[in-house]
Amino acid sequence: MGTRMAKPAIDVGLVSADAGPLLDFYRGVADFTTLDSVEIPNVGTVHKLACGESVLRVLVPANPPQPDGAPSFSARAGIRNLTLEVEDIDAAVAAVPAHGGRVVLPPFELRPGRKVAQAADPDGNMIEFGQD
């Protein structure tokens, strides 16, 4: 057996050449809250946003990253999207273009009582929105 989680959340890290558009996107689309950033010598700066008890970390490395180049979010293995459960999926999706993102799949009813949508943030990371 492993161990128990110390908090009921999962923190996620993104790597970007420019944190500004990502921070604006997540604050504007899903009301994330800005936390203190951390400067790590010879590594870069970690910008942090709170989402409930979870933290989204955006690392801007000292040496800028190269674009992924994958033709779609499902073309490579690994963590490829974030899912955000929202109170108003239509409002979240409407805010995407205004904050530098792109709507990939408009809201639709996946099953009775469940709506989903997909968007890309300013760096192209896939975001799934869900609403029950």
The stretch 47-69 carries a mean pLDDT of 90
The DSSP result for the chain, as a single string, is -----SSS---EEEE-S-HHHHHHHHHHHH--EEEEEEEETTTEEEEEEEETTEEEEEEEESSPPPP---SSTTSSSS--EEEEE-S-HHHHHHHHHHTT-EEEEEEEEEETTEEEEEEE-TT--EEEEEE-
What are the tens digits of pLDDT across the range 31-44? 999 999 999 999 99
pTM for this predicted structure: 0.89
What integer pLDDT is reported at residue 76 of this predicted model?
A: 72
For 11-31, what is the mean pLDDT?
A: 95
What pLDDT sits at residue 60?
94
Q: What is the pLDDT of residues 96-125, one digit of tens each?
A: 999 999 999 999 999 999 999 999 999 999
Q: Mind listing the domains of the chain with CATH numbers?
A: 12-64+80-131 (3.10.180.10)
Instruction: Read off the pLDDT of residues 59-99 as tens digits, 9 standing for 90 and up.
Output: 999 987 777 777 776 777 777 789 999 999 999 999 999 99
Q: Which pLDDT value is given to residue 127? A: 95
**CB-based contacts of 83, cutoff 8 Å, min separation 6:** 127, 128, 129, 130
